[in-house]
C-alpha cells in the first residue's frame, strides 16, 4: 500500500526566505511522486513530478524537489519566498498506470511581508 505524510500542516516564512515543505512516502513499488498547489477556491495544479530521470526535479514558479530513496522523502523547496506563493501544497504518490493517486493532508504556506 502507498501512503504520503506531510510534516507540518502550516508553515510560515518571511518574504525572501527559504521555503521547505516536507514529504515522506511509503511505497512497495517504485513510486511516482508529485507536488500540487492549490490557491483559494480553485482546484489543484501540478507543480512538478518525479520521473526517475533525475533526483532533483524543477517545477514551475521556482520550486524544486529532491527525491531521496534512502530517506523515502520528496521535500519541496524554493530559495526565496514570494507573497504569491501563499497557498496549500499537496504531496502525492501514485502507482503503476497512474491510478489511485494518494494525497498527503496538505501544508498551508503563509508568507509574511
Partner 1 sequence: IAGITQAPTSQILAAGRRMTLRCTQDMRHNAMYWYRQDLGLGLRLIHYSNTAGTTGKGEVPDGYSVSRANTDDFPLTLASAVPSQTSVYFCASSEGTNNSPLHFGNGTRLTVT
C-beta closer to partner 1: residue 51 or 80: 51
How remote is the C-alpha of 27 from its chain's centroid?
16
36 binds partner 1 per the rule CB under 8 A? yes
Note whether 112 and 12 are within 8 A (CB).
yes
Q: Considering only the stretches 11-19, 37-45, 63-71, 74-82, report the one whose residues sit in contact with partner 1 under the rule CB under 8 A.
A: 37-45
Tell me the per-residue interface mask from 11 to 30 with partner 1, x by CB under 8 A, - otherwise: --------------------
Which residue is associated with the grid cell 526566505? Answer: 17
**Could you give the CA distance from residue 78 to residue 39 in angstroms, rounded to a whole number?**
17
**Could you give the CA distance from residue 81 to residue 109 in angstroms, rounded to a whole number?**
10
67 binds partner 1 per the rule CB under 8 A? no
Q: Considering only the stretches 18-26, 45-53, 63-71, 73-81, report the one whose residues sit in contact with partner 1 under the rule CB under 8 A.
A: 45-53
Please give the DSSP secondary-structure letter assigned to residue 100.
S
Note whether 8 and 110 are within 8 A (CB).
no
Q: Considering only the stretches 11-19, 20-28, 76-84, 94-102, report the one whose residues sit in contact with partner 1 under the rule CB under 8 A.
A: 94-102
Per CB under 8 A, residues contacting partner 1 are 9, 32, 34, 36, 41-46, 49-51, 90, 92, 94, 96-106
Amino acid at each position: 500500500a502507498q501512503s504520503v505524510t506531510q510534516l507540518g500542516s502550516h508553515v510560515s516564512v518571511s518574504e525572501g526566505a527559504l521555503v521547505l515543505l516536507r514529504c515522506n512516502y511509503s511505497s512497495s513499488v517504485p513510486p511516482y511522486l508529485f507536488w500540487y498547489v492549490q490557491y483559494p477556491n480553485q482546484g489543484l495544479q501540478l507543480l512538478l513530478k518525479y520521473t526517475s530521470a533525475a533526483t532533483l526535479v524543477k517545477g514551475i514558479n521556482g520550486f524544486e524537489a529532491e527525491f531521496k530513496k534512502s530517506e523515502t522523502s520528496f521535500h519541496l523547496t524554493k530559495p526565496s519566498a514570494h507573497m504569491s506563493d501563499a497557498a496549500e501544497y499537496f504531496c502525492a504518490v501514485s502507482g503503476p498506470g497512474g491510478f489511485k493517486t494518494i494525497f498527503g493532508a496538505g501544508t498551508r504556506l503563509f508568507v509574511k511581508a
